[in-house]
Structure 1
Amino acid sequence: MTGRVLVTAGASGIGRAMGEAFDKAGYEVWVSDLNGRALGEVPVHWRTSHVDVIDEPQMAAMFAEIKREWGGLDVLCANAGVAGPTAQIEDIALDDWRSCVSVNLDGTFLAAKYTVPMMKKAKAGSIIVTSSTAGQHGYPNRGPYCSAKWAVIGLAKTLAMELGAFGGRCNVICPGSVEGDRMEGVLSREAEAKGMTRDEVYIGYASGTSMGSFVEARDIGDMAVFLGSDASRFVSGQVIAVDGHTVNPDPKV
């Protein structure tokens, strides 16, 4: 056993790929998710929790269980997030804004809040926050999501400073456009908002990278394993894009 990892929103998409990558690397894997059906489809040897990341009592109970079962955590992948509304800023309802920011930012905060004391006690550990290239660039029609993903980078850099004296680390992964159901939803909503076809929006996103392609979830998982391992033992407070190198973040072009 290499270590113990918790992945929030780990039952599908990027989170599932992270779990699979850590599993392959020899870690014990625990995933939380709000989607109970997806949790039922993860490998049977993974531990699971049906949790809403913005419900503090649920999060506290899960971390208490982790302490009982494992005694601590070596790696946290604070991965939970939602895409939020796709619209011009003047057309976004406050409730939709708050919902998007809450899941992305509050969910990351709560995961860190209950992980940090275990890592400080162990004088070791790695926290990996999933942001986005939307946390590095502005994107039209994605105001709430961009704002939240910029915010989690600030949180992560603060965590890196607070954990450093205790031998712990915190880094950020910024995925670009990732093949899968979640991005398909973004493409569809953006196509509708801009009066374009789904394929036109897809080409716009892909052509905005120097490698001219979307990435796959496994690429994110591989980076997470590196950041969780001793191979990156002096990498902390960093923001690492896995995106094929975004050179033009505006998908209109």
Structure 2
Amino acid sequence: MTGRTTLITAGAAGIGLAIAEMFMARGDQVIVCDVDQVALDRAATKLPGLVAIKADVSDVAAVDAMIAQAGPISVLVNNAGVAGPVGGIETNDPDDWARCFAVNVHGAFHTIRAVVPAMREAGTGTIINISTASTVTGLPGRAAYIASKYALEGMTRTLARELGPVGIRVNAIRPGFMDTERMRGIMHRIADQSGRSVSEVETAALGYISLRTKIQPAEIGEMAWFFASDAAHHITGQIIGVDGNAEWEG
């Protein structure tokens, strides 16, 4: 056992669950939170010993209660995120826009704010924020999501400076074209809207990626593990793409 306690938000499925599985297999005590109780129950069954807590990170009281239950956190992975409104900026519903920031930005703020005091006291800690490769390419029709992830990256760089003197490292990962149920759903939606097959949509998307590849959730887990490891003890303020080099998005 590493003696560390790792908290992963939105950790009951997808990328979050892949990170949880990897960190548990390598000796961390792992806590995940999610808003989906069914997914939490499924994750807890799959990974005996996993601590699964239902919590919405946009709710500061829920986050504070979760951290009070969990105790000191050594590694925080801010994975929680919502897609936000899709379509031209003039069609975006203000409430949907606000909800996107409430989860993607304010949720990360709430969790970081809650775990930093114990990290500061310990003189060490690792915070890993999950962004997106789309902050590099831009993505028309997804202004809320991209703006929220830019904010998360700005928070990453600033907190690396703020918290570095007390031994806390802050980095971010930009996942690319993920091989997940969520991405498959997006591909099906685009196919339906454009009158193309899913295969045609995926091939077109991969044409903008240098390595022409989808990314497996475990690959994000590996980068998160590296950031949390002793091998990265002098790495902070960095934003690394695990995306096959996303050149552009059509």
TM-score, with structure 2 as normaliser? 0.94
Which residue of 25, 30, 51 maps to 1:47?
51
- Deviation of the 1:199 alpha carbon: 3.0
Q: 5 Å matches for 1:1-253?
A: 1-2=1-2, 3-42=4-43, 43-67=47-71, 72-192=72-192, 194=194, 196-247=196-247, 249-251=248-250
Residues 185 and 96 of structure 1, relative CA distance in 2, 3 Å threshold = farther
Residues 93 and 193 of structure 1, relative CA distance in 2, 3 Å threshold = farther
Which amino acid letter does the alignment assign opposite residue 57 of structure 1? A
Cα distance in 1, alignment partners of residues 195 and 94 from structure 2:
24
**Equivalent residues of 2:137, 2:246 under 8 A apart:** no
Cα distance in 2, alignment partners of residues 56 and 133 from structure 1:
28
**Equivalent residues of 1:86, 1:190 under 8 A apart:** no
Cα distance in 2, alignment partners of residues 97 and 202 from structure 1:
27
Cα distance in 1, alignment partners of residues 191 and 145 from structure 2:
17
- Deviation of the 1:202 alpha carbon: 1.6
Cα distance in 2, alignment partners of residues 163 and 36 from structure 1:
34
Cα distance in 1, alignment partners of residues 124 and 107 from structure 2:
22
Gaps of 5+ in 1: none
Cα distance in 1, alignment partners of residues 157 and 203 from structure 2:
33
Cα distance in 1, alignment partners of residues 40 and 211 from structure 2:
34
Which amino acid letter does the alignment assign opposite residue 249 of structure 2? D
Cα distance in 1, alignment partners of residues 244 and 81 from structure 2:
21
- Deviation of the 1:158 alpha carbon: 1.4
- Deviation of the 1:162 alpha carbon: 1.4
Gaps of 5+ in 2: none
State the SS of the aligned residue for 2:42.
coil
Residues 195 and 95 of structure 1, relative CA distance in 2, 3 Å threshold = farther
- Deviation of the 1:137 alpha carbon: 2.4
Residues 181 and 63 of structure 1, relative CA distance in 2, 3 Å threshold = same
**Equivalent residues of 1:134, 1:150 under 8 A apart:** no
Cα distance in 2, alignment partners of residues 226 and 135 from structure 1:
22
TM-score, with structure 1 as normaliser? 0.93
Residues 190 and 140 of structure 1, relative CA distance in 2, 3 Å threshold = farther
Q: Deviations over 1:213-244 (max 9, x none)?
A: 11010000011001011110001000000001
